[in-house]
Structure 1
């Protein structure tokens, strides 16, 4: 498009994009040619959109950008690059710390109008550059003002434009205030108010009735170049302006806590308060200082205009260059030169050989160390366990350390999702773009390592929709790493205890309780070897984006043969959920998990934490308080009011009686998880009413031996090999 502004030919938006795009394409080609091996984006991330280079910290797609630098590449009629809020990007420069954007032109047929220029959000790292932009206005007898939001009046950018009968001064190539004017921008902000007002000038008259007014923020360099080609008209006005936008410049910076990643880079301050920084490559290096190995050595001898060597021969060196003095052509100096060069090459090849040998020895040491860690972490036995079953081999994979380091950006602290009693959990993106959760042990002690291996053994042989899936593990590191499915919605505790703005309905709570009970019942009864979780709690129940429950964290779990009823072990669990009988006798049974699940039921009914403060004590047990109120028929004193509002009081009383049975001090009086599951299914299907109370369940109440004999269709276990593995990996508890 070609627009006529103040009687002059101004390139259209498409011409602007074409010019900027051509420059960007040339710069990108030069950058690729000079730095062929230097990456500009994170591994696996796109480094361009059409002909615009996209270097990190900018990025396209999840995990490819630093916070606030996300871009979108839209491929429709013409490929365009946008900020997240829809502002088109024309080019990015890392050394200058700028982004060129497509900026709107404010225009009107009236000499008086107001407008608002808004860039990225105020919380973003971008501001309109006062160094690279002008505020420009076109029109007759107007005063144009650019008013920053939230700053003093003295920072307003103002210019005046007049029109006269005499046209002899209008041909001046400078923006002198006749028909058009410009002013510097005095403040770096993201939003401005544009105000254009008419001023009455009696001694001057306009020679035509054509009137048009425009104001805009524009890149100084672009405006200076194109202003030289403007053909001025005696009437500095525009009747039919088709131009809608011009290029403008944003500056960006990072928080002072950010650290430059390349080894040949440095940090410099952007503001006087030293709160904002940018990175740059050291002298003699070019590339991207924001990523590892992004700054690469340049050959200064290939750029004699920038790195002159007038009196000698240019010799490139790492990070610099030198000029060797020219020698005479006599034979002796020439011979000395040949000898010196030969000796230099010999020394260079020797150093390269030593470096190669050293690097090879280092790689062998790393490989040996990883092999030792693999053996120490029972990797050989785990390989045997996986290879012995096709079903397990299809579900469980042994990852390399390099793959998980790349997936977590070398375990960046920004990727931490949370942590449990047995490790820290990171968000990872595998090479196939699959999002996973990666758990890493906190400390290097054999007890923690054995608990990790215990979790691998249990989850590799578990296949249930309400048990978190284990995709695999890595045993090459000093501490084992476990790779799980990524659960997006956090924990049940996050929703119940006031940390989430979204409240769970009674229907959702009942379904989550049923799904959790199904998972625990499956662990207890649906395999040749029973699994006692030993740490059932709301924090270990994860919720998917559809609020489906997933039981997790099997580091403390124990496996026993189907014909055993319990084992003696050191007491382990979470205060508030711990079975009193297990605490006093050290005998772990399936009823220990039943007690812990009873506490979860009480939490779902009351939204009270397992240990809470009361008037009489600093720490009151929810379990004992809940049972006491149930026995006194005072459930409504503690029942969550939301359940009553949703009409679930009748079902809640049945669930409360079930929770009371689960919280019996004697394990033999508690129901099995299969019985709990069956009761919750009936409540969920509205088949249980108050005329069928559950007050006490002993070992003769429901005979579920037939279910224990059923191996289930959701997963199988390898008894002999798994038992051998557990015996070799677990320490006495």
Structure 2
């Protein structure tokens, strides 16, 4: 049985190319002298090789196994099957499919851990040629990879109740989900699991699948569930280079040059033939001159090949000569040359004048047409970006539009240096955020929606409408928008100190407990304002630490309202598709699709747990909320708290915050507190934590008598009359924590997300 027949039987689902049909070109497939360049259907060009004297470095070793017919090529000593090698820096191979299966008694019957990719330089996963997929009706998959010392995590979840609910022509989250892969990654691992062990969907979908695949080689269809069960490997693409410094360029052969391929997140050099040459740029003999005369380009003459930088010339036959300006053109040599030259000049002059008039006429017509097209294009983008809907919604919600500036596309292009990548602050759920400077030197954050305008206009209009209803010091302020570009743009105030997520998990800054309490209280105040202090309540729907921004004074600013929803008057919940971030999602909302204000309370509970533990919401195959709730039940809360934050003076307040977080994370939404109640409790905790007596101010009878002098009235006796100490129950005033305080900056700002 052939390798391709064994590994990829998805003829109806996959659009696969045979390894034989994607072999490298003849000019690029040159092995070193005495070395074989064939392993089965694979052509192996230098710097790759199959023997110790035939490759440049050990990383370019191709292990040609002759235990199969035809022989099977493996990358180095691993289990990745190589199907194509390109000297342009790409390597095609077959990688394993992850599989997680259960029986009808919800017991696991199969779990594959093969999709781990322990790649070393010079190999990285191609982010432009591959995508990460998860297929199943009770499935979530997480992918982790490294770019140098930095870890990157991404993933998606796929849910469906029946085959009838599956989108048969699109991998859109129902039965199948997909996500892009960050650039420059190696050493990938993947975890695959389910929410309910496929118990409710077992009869038609007993397994979950996850895999990295070449994006034009997989197309999800109705039969993918069954076909993937028989598929062991799928094609994917790696990038490779010869090194990350200029010394590596010594590997380039003659007539070639070295270039930096400039993949985001990594530096790697490749060799390529100079213009006019072809072949394998790594081969010791170098690239060879392209023989242009093979195409016989000379008319009325014999072609002579010229080494680069020339290409060819023509030796004219008898009775012909060069035209005087180009040695590649032979013209007839006529004795009446002078008269013909005059005639030729007159004709040329007449043609030139004619062409000039024609050119000016066409240019004028073209300019007018382009101007009209440009105006129509702006109108088209205005409609596609939801401009008409936006105007209707703003009119129905009051006069908020008067305070929102409409920017032109040119203004924002100039402010962002034409959206240069150096100005990227980060990426949110629905777009990329750029740093910009307006003509009056005002620094702003400009959010550019992802994808086509038609698929993002609803989120764009939703965020404008939501932000127009909010005026709160702890909510990021919307300054304006732009409707006349392909992707809609929102302009916000610029928050200088990054996200709370960065300070907790990336910068590793030791935020003191009091400052964390301040940030938690301000964030809760913003959410409480959204829920109960405006005419039309708003549910944020994506509360998380990466959506809480911090300014220079560490004042919290809640941001990213692309997923938020307005709650119509008289309603307490909304029937809607599940949106949010894995690890923060309300399980009740996930099961019922009923969005309520208590969904934000649950997500805020996860934020409180992050502040207490400094741990990420999702780690490996477990959620932080599960670990936290188990620690509360078993009485080992201290083991998961951030040791750098907790001390003897604040441990009681920490426990009270933990109990509040536990209540916010209750499965039944009705049992959770409201955000207004959360704010009240956090403010009371901040006041008590700030008071010098704390939560357990103890007094003895002798101390009280000394303080009260000779008064012996029973009204002033403190204690139980036996001389022992007891809690006085005293409380401090109502001064808000951090009133008038100056908090020093803990870490320099690095640009945010």
> Using CA pairs below 8 Å that are at least 6 residues apart, which structure has the higher relative contact order?
1
Q: TM-score, normalised by structure 1?
A: 0.46
Q: TM-score, normalised by structure 2?
A: 0.45
Q: From the CA coordinates, give the structure whose radius of gyration is larger.
A: 1
